[in-house]
Amino acid sequence: MTPITIPPTSESQLYAPLSVKHKEIRLLRIAPYDADDVFSICHCAMFTVSLAQQPRPRYNAFSYEWNYGVDVSEIGNAVMVNGHRIEVTRNLAALLTRFRNITQAVPNSEMFQLPIWIDALCIDQSNADERGVQVGLMGVIYSHAQATFTYLGEDENDSDYAMPILAEIGSKILQTMKTDDMAWVKPDEQPELWQPDQVEGDGFLNRFWTSAGAIMKRSYWRRAWIVQEILLQDNVIVFCGKNIMHYHQLNAVYYWLRRIQGRPCPPLVSVELWRLLSTKVGWYSMGWNRFVQRRRVTPSEETKGDQDVESRKEQHLQWKAWILSTVDQQATDPRDHLYSVLGLVGIGSLQPNYSASVETVFYDFATTSIEVEESLGILSYAGHWELPPTDVDHKTLATHLFVPSWVPNWDQISKMYNFTWLLSATDHADKGWASIHVPINGNALWLIDGKSLISQGISFDTVAQIELCDVGDGSWLSFCLKYMNARGGQPYPDGIPALQALARLVLRGRKFASNELLERDSDVETTLLSVIPAMLATFYTSNSTSAAAEIKQAQEKLGIFTPDGIAEKFIGRPLSAVAQELVGALPRLTSRTEELTRSLESDRNFNPLVPDSMNYRNGISSGMRDHVAFVTRKGYIGWGRKGLQDGDSVCVLAGCPVPLLLREMKGYNINLGPCYVEGLMHGEAVVAVADNTARIDIFHIV
């Protein structure tokens, strides 16, 4: 190993200015430890290189959780860089110590002898301008590195046991995945993988899968930055405690778990364990939903000079797509919800600005979205709503950003997992606006005046009733019954039966187990099979002893237990008029309902509260917990964010694909967020204006 000379330097020389023109970065070399103390403080030599030089410098980059064990005041949480003592987090100190010991153990390994790049040390964190420039280079830094070293932390929760096995089975899966997903599974030779163990605590039935799940639940996987750091480099090496494996091996295990979902349990494998591995519920329970799956990413080349309009729009849409796909990842600095994925897009003309406030960064992104996309689609993600229960510090930070209500608060969104529950790519509430268009500024439909957004729109209705609902406590069924009683046998405002409107509301206008739009004029069989099973699944409560009995009772209360009731209450026509259509539909509906009942019964003890729609019923319950049901004065029903009040307006704005809930305050409007309103998602408000039953207003949203 080549000796490292670490010269003493003055404070001002530790972080000498870097050349932006030459894309300079700093790299580190770690000195060997003393023979008698492998845990001694790490000494590093820091030097400058240019990414623009040819040949390019060779180095490795680290991906790690910066704030894990955030206290930098503890004794030993420090490193020496060019003779200067720098306080670091416990996790970074452990990372450097672990890596130093590995490099000294394998002195002939070229990979481990290369210098390293670590953001916390190689960037002058006290210099906002430098930080912005260097973060703008991170896409280049990670993609040009020889390897990315992913550090998950030291051994805990039996990870030293799980890591070698993960590496072994990952290699086996890689060898067999193209021919037979199950070829590597040999329960008679691998009982430690496929049978329950006697482990303490709740566990996951098996020591290996329990500890593997604990690895995936580490907070590292929730970092916003890891998506870019992992996807921009094909050669990713995973460090966890004393163990090392290639990311491809871990990715293979993830891929295999995805592939076996829904498959029958193989012989000699524990049925309970297989249910855990082969269902989305189990997949989420073990934390695999947090894993960053390997996929090809090709950032565009760095932009030089002015971009044409289409190129700028394309890059911005890519950037927004990455922001939305990673929005539930966590960032210490809220600005990094936007900046952490820039390297995946390759926007060379945009430089992160850490001198600007969080509010300014979010505001600038929103205004750019409106300008580039020529729409108000960004408002679909905005609004001042009530956050669900969460970590107090995170909630306080997220709700004390003073952004206009039409500007998305990305930090707030990251604390609300179901922020897209209301939204669908098929939504087009402003459909047909060109036919009623009244410009407010030249030919514009809106204008931005400082922190205000002035837009034309339709105040379609007002909120009259608000209900908290959940599928597990009977409150959702209670809401349905109250609404039907209030209608008094009258159809929904747009003419469909009130019960069908409620069923469509559960699915937010989509078909059961699909994101496909359920058209208003769908045939009887399609409508029945698309929504009735979905609705019945929501009436099974958590303390029920019999799914069949409870669903039957709900059908009787709603009046749809007989063909007559289904025809009248759900289709809105007498049985004689639809008898022919029901002949084929009812047997299939009965079969699907029985299948649903069996599924609910078998899952009644296997239904952890995990986020997102890992299965239909859990997805509905999770969505309901973060939203409220409401009824308008005209009798429309919908979902909105928590925090609504009687009198809030349901509005459709020009250029916004979803209705918004607005609250008037002293002549201005506060956006409370998007809403789903049954029968108002596809241009119905625009038709109402054309029919002179609604009118266009001007809204000043602040």
The model's pLDDT over 112-153, given as tens digits with 9 standing for 90+, comes to 899 999 999 999 999 999 999 999 999 999 999 999 999 999
How crowded is residue 573: how many other Cβ atoms within 10 Å of its Cβ?
A: 13
> What angle (nearest 5°) sits at the alpha carbon of residue 622, between those of residues 624 and 589?
80
Write out the two tokens for 86: 């720098």
Instruction: Give the C-alpha separation, 62 to 226, whole Å.
Output: 10
Q: Over 50: is that where the pLDDT of 10 sits?
A: no
pLDDT of residue 471: 85
The model's pLDDT over 558-600, given as tens digits with 9 standing for 90+, comes to 999 999 999 999 999 999 999 888 888 899 888 888 877 777 7
- Residue by residue, DSSP assigns 48-105 as EEETTSSSPPP-EEEE--TTTT----STT-EEEETTEEEE--HHHHHHHHHHHHHHHH
pLDDT of residue 403: 92
Instruction: Give the C-alpha separation, 72 to 593, whole Å.
Output: 58
How confident is residue 647, by pLDDT bands cut at 50, 70 and 90?
very high
Mean of the pLDDT values across residues 425-446?
85
Q: Over 80: is that where the pLDDT of 225 sits?
A: yes
How confident is residue 606, by pLDDT bands cut at 50, 70 and 90?
very low
Q: What is the mean pLDDT of the chain?
A: 87
How crowded is residue 119: how many other Cβ atoms within 10 Å of its Cβ?
A: 20
Report the amino acid identity of residue 414: S
How confident is residue 46, by pLDDT bands cut at 50, 70 and 90?
very high
The model's pLDDT over 92-118, given as tens digits with 9 standing for 90+, comes to 999 999 999 888 888 888 888 999 999
Report the amino acid identity of residue 162: A
What's the distance, Cα to Cα, between the start and end of the chain in Å? 62
**Does residue 612 contact residue 289 with C-beta atoms inside 8 Å?**
yes
Beta-strand relationship, 78-81 and 42-50: parallel
How confident is residue 649, by pLDDT bands cut at 50, 70 and 90?
very high
How confident is residue 607, by pLDDT bands cut at 50, 70 and 90?
very low
DSSP, res 598: H
List, as own/partner pairs, every contact residues 435-440 make where C-beta atoms lie below 8 angstroms and the sequence separation is at least 24, other chains included: 435/686, 435/690, 436/686, 436/689, 436/690, 436/696, 437/654, 438/696, 440/698
The model's pLDDT over 59-74, given as tens digits with 9 standing for 90+, comes to 999 999 976 444 545 5
Nearest CA among 560, 524, 513 for reference residue 539: 560
| Strand partners for 149 | 62, 237
**Does residue 600 contact residue 538 with C-beta atoms inside 8 Å?**
no
pLDDT of residue 392: 46
Instruction: Give the C-alpha separation, 206 to 204, whole Å.
Output: 6
**Does residue 250 contact residue 244 with C-beta atoms inside 8 Å?**
no
How confident is residue 533, by pLDDT bands cut at 50, 70 and 90?
confident
Instruction: Give CA 61 to chain center in angstroms.
Output: 26
Out of 255-269, 388-402, 408-422, pick the least confident.
388-402
pLDDT of residue 500: 96
Share of the chain above pLDDT 70, in %: 88
Report the amino acid identity of residue 591: S
How confident is residue 441, by pLDDT bands cut at 50, 70 and 90?
low
Out of 186-200, 294-308, 605-619, pick the least confident.
605-619
Q: Over 60: is that where the pLDDT of 199 sits?
A: no
3-state DSSP assignment of residue 551: helix
Q: Which residues of 454-469 are buried (b: 16+ CB within 10 A; e: fewer)?
A: bbbbbbbbebebbeeb
Q: Over 90: is that where the pLDDT of 447 sits?
A: yes
pLDDT of residue 36: 64
How crowded is residue 524: how many other Cβ atoms within 10 Å of its Cβ?
A: 18
How confident is residue 371, by pLDDT bands cut at 50, 70 and 90?
very high
Beta-strand relationship, 42-50 and 236-240: unpaired
| Strand partners for 85 | 80
Nearest CA among 344, 361, 120 for reference residue 352: 361
Map tokens 């209608």 to a residue.
487
Please give the residue that has the higher pLDDT: either 674 or 609.
674
**Does residue 589 contact residue 532 with C-beta atoms inside 8 Å?**
yes
Mean of the pLDDT values across residues 679-686?
97
